[in-house]
């Protein structure tokens, strides 16, 4: 670390990083970073100097988080955040990143979405969604068959849903942020051009949606001039799954389920990435399940097709 910065207070460096990334990430992501840092990181390191942030001190910090009964995955996520900060600061101030060689812990994974929803469970879910249709089930189906994010889903108005051409135009996202940042719900536009997209919907889904069609200015999920908010939809999803005795998953995991099923059935990753609104193909890959032998066989059999 250069002499001019070794005594820099770590908390000041953290807020510098937050200011740096504020215009580069979604507002909800910025708020999550800020909350994690202020609640978990800064109290531990208090008035530590930047030079006190070492691999050993961070390992000790991680150990304390676990002693405080923090979820292993959440604690590992906080360490990843620290690595991001130190990488930025080392580049900005010209010192060797002390966390560059620090390997992040790999908490034992629970059952993934694809395991929770095998073909039998998926068919049970699908059947339950078609029984006694309502707007909540319609929203679940849209994410299940388009991969829309929950914020994008909640922001949809009927003017965005073209049931004649079977497409949905995604141009906004509804997010809830902490009251200290923007007072609650925020309607935002995508950070990248990839986020603004037109997503096709299968005719069967279009027919399902048609029974709820409302004026263009009405929000899709509420049928009103005000939207249904993301946490309300998460609650409704989990309530529905519990009632149907189906595995508990979130809208984020519904999106993963869409990705898994597309990939396992031979979807082109580049096309799938555009549908999802991901900036790069690499952004999609982490959500893909490990290939099964059946999916590998289907892939090599493609070479035999005329």
pLDDT band, very low/low/confident/very high, at 3 (cuts 50, 70, 90): very low
Residue 211 has pLDDT above 90, yes or no: yes
Look at 221 and 181; give whichever has higher pLDDT: 221
Residue 108 has pLDDT above 70, yes or no: no
> Model confidence at 2, in pLDDT bands (50, 70, 90)?
very low
1 vs 98: CA distance, rounded Å: 9
Q: Is 174 in contact with 230 (CB distance < 8 Å)?
A: yes
- Tell me what pLDDT residue 295 has: 62
Residue matched to tokens 């908010």: 229
- Intervals of CATH 1.10.443.10 along the chain: 113-296
CA pair distance 262, 195, nearest whole angstrom: 19
* HEC string for the chain: CCCCCCCCEHHHHHHHHHHHHCCCCCHHHHHHHHHHHHHHHHHHHCCCEHHHCCHHHHHHHHHHHHHCCCCHHHHHHHHHHHHHHHHHHHHHHCCCCCCCCCCCCCCCCCCCHHHHCCHHHHHHHHHHHHCCCCHHHHHHHHHHHHCCCHHHHHHCEHHHEECCCCEEEECCEEEECCHHHHCCEEEECCCCHHHCEEEECCHHHHHHHHCCCCCCCCECCCCCCCCCCHHHHHHHHHHHHHHCCCCCCCHHHHHHHHHHHHHHCCCCHHHHHHHHCCCCHHHCHHHCCCCCHHHHHHHHHHHHCC
HEC secondary structure over 97-139: CCCCCCCCCCCCCCCCHHHHCCHHHHHHHHHHHHCCCCHHHHH
Separation CA 91–CA 85 (nearest Å): 10
Span 52-88, pLDDT tens digits: 999 999 999 999 999 999 888 889 999 999 999 999 9
pLDDT at 4 (0 to 100): 46
Q: Which is more confident, 176 or 290?
A: 176
Supply the pLDDT for residue 263. 82
Average pLDDT over residues 29-34: 87
| pLDDT value, residue 1 | 43
Query: Rounded to whole angstroms, how far apart are CA atoms 45 and 10?
Result: 8
Residue 192 has pLDDT above 80, yes or no: no
The answer to whether 162 and 169 are in contact (CB under 8 A) is yes
Fold of 10-93: DNA polymerase; domain 1 (1.10.150)
Q: Between 71 and 7, name the one with better pLDDT.
A: 71
- pLDDT tens per residue across span 234-292: 999 999 999 999 999 999 999 989 988 888 787 888 888 888 888 777 767 666 666 66
pTM: 0.72
CATH architecture of the domain covering 113-296? Orthogonal Bundle (1.10)
What is the chain's mean pLDDT, rounded? 86
- Provide mean pLDDT across the span 204-233: 94
Q: Is the pLDDT of residue 220 over 90?
A: yes
Numbered ranges of CATH 1.10.150.130 in the chain = 10-93
Whether 132 shows a pLDDT value over 50: the answer reads yes
Work out the number of other CB atoms within 10 angstroms of the CB of residue 42: 16
The burial class, CB within 10 Å (0-12 / 13-18 / 19+), for 263 is buried
Q: What is the pLDDT of residue 269?
A: 83
């Amino acid at each position: 670390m250069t002499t001019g910065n070794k005594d820099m207070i770590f908390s000041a460096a953290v807020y510098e990083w937050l200011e740096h990334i504020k215009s580069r990430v979604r507002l909800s992501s910025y708020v999550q970073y800020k909350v994690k840092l202020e609640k978990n990181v800064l109290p531990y390191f208090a008035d530590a100097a930047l030079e006190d942030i070492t691999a050993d001190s961070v390992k000790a910090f991680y150990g304390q988080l676990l002693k405080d009964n923090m979820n292993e995955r959440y604690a590992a996520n906080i360490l990843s955040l620290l690595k991001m900060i130190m990488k930025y600061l080392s580049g900005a101030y010209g010192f060797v990143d002390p966390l560059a060689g620090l390997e992040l812990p790999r908490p034992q994974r629970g059952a993934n979405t694809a395991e929770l929803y095998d073909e039998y469970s998926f068919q049970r879910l699908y059947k339950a969604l078609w029984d006694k249709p309502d707007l909540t089930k319609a929203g679940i189906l849209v994410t299940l068959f388009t991969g829309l994010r929950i914020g994008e889903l909640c922001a949809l108005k009927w003017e965005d849903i073209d049931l004649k051409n079977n497409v949905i135009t995604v141009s906004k996202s509804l997010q809830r942020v902490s009251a200290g940042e923007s007072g609650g719900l925020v309607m935002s536009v995508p950070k990248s051009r990839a986020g603004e997209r037109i997503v096709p919907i299968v005719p069967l889904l279009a027919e399902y949606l048609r029974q709820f069609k409302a004026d263009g200015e009405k929000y899709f999920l509420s049928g009103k001039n005000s939207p249904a908010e993301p946490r309300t939809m998460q609650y409704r999803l989990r309530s529905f799954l519990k009632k149907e005795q189906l595995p508990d998953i979130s809208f984020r995991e519904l999106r993963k389920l869409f990705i898994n099923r597309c990939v396992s059935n031979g979807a082109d990753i580049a096309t799938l990435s555009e549908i999802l609104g991901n900036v790069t193909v690499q952004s999609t890959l982490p959500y893909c399940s490990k290939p099964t032998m059946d999916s590998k066989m289907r892939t090599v059999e493609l070479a035999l097709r005329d």
